[in-house]
Structure formats: C-alpha cells, structure tokens
Structure 1
Amino acid sequence: MFIIANFLKAVASIADTVLTIYMYILIARAILSWVNPDPYNPIVNFLYRATEPVLQRVRRVLPNTGGLDLSPLMILLAIFFIQKFIIASLFELADRMKFGLGV
C-alpha cells in the first residue's frame, strides 16, 4: 500500500508545482496587460500562448464587464481551490494509506 501512497504523493506534489508555476505565468500575463508590450518579444509571445487558451474559455462564460477582464482572477481562484482542496486531499489520502489510519 505504501507504493500507491508514494505514487499519490508524487502526483500531488507535481500537480501542485505545475499549478504554482502556471499561477505565476498568469500573474505575469495580467501585469503585462497593463502596459503595451512588444508582441514579438519571445517572453511575451510565450506568456500569451501559454495563457490565452484558458483565458479565452473563461471569457466566454463570464459576462461582459466593459474594459475590465476578470478571467485571470477567476482562473487564480480556481487554482487556489484546486490546491487547497484537491491537492491537499491527495496528500491526506496518501498519508492515510501509508500510515494505515483508515481511508
């Protein structure tokens, strides 16, 4: 059982790290939206390509608020929820499986 517990803990750790990195990428994209960056800059191009598919899906669902784009905020809230509920639950499940505290 400890092998499955270690696997769950590794998956949860990797997912947490990936979500944290994506959160920082999203914050950088939101900050860049306040200025007029060069779209041909490779870093700016990467940030747009990495975040636009997710932002576009959220923009379709959210109502139009004029010039205020709330989609990055909604995605950040979703990332926080996933990290605090799903990832934390995976860590807890792995610990319970490993130490036999009951599932």
Structure 2
Amino acid sequence: MRHLHGKLEFLNPTGSFKDRGTAVMLSVAMEHGVTELVEDSSGNAGASVSAYAARAGIKAHVFVPADAPQAKLRQIRVYGSEVHPIEGTRDAVTAAAKDFHRQHGLVYAS
C-alpha cells in the first residue's frame, strides 16, 4: 500500500462522524418543508441532529436515556433542541420517541 487516506471525523462540527449523514438527512428534510422533527439518541446523533436542525431552522425534539452523559445533553441543548429524558432501556427511549412522533404528526428522524 503506497498511500493511505483517512478522514478526520473529529474535525466535523460536532466532533462526530454522524455529521455527514445528518447533513444529508436535514437537507432532504428542508427540501420537503419539515419544520419540526423527532430524534432518539444516546449522545452523538442527538448532538449532530440538534446542530444541523438549528442551522436549518428546524425544531428538534431529542429523546435520550435519563442517564445520558451530561456533556452530551449540554451539547444537544446548546443548539436549542428540546430534550426528553426517558427512564429505562434504550428501547424505551426509541418507543417514547416513536409515540411522540405519531401523537404530534412529526417526522421521526432516527
């Protein structure tokens, strides 16, 4: 192997590889006129969606485990997303996010 190339994902805006996929997802959401969405995450995806949703002018509801790291919760909140902490398993977080999306007719972005 003569050349090895790598991506420095930690240089993305939120420090995560999640940003590339989130940028595409939020671009498509904007094209479809989405103004509010629901995400569930244990950290990095929630921070990424929060950052890109804020930039796009889309309100984000991020469902997280109640015991998620405080640093990640701060990162999600700093972008203005509404954080919904859920007690229980990771599956309980996903179920709560899906229930919220159905009850409010919002896009489920996870």
Q: Place the TM-score, normalised by the shorter chain, in its bin.
A: under 0.3
Higher radius of gyration, 1 or 2: 1
Q: Which has the higher contact order (CA 8 A, sep 6+)?
A: 1
Provide the TM-score with structure 1 as the length reference.
0.27
Please identify which structure carries the higher strand content. 2
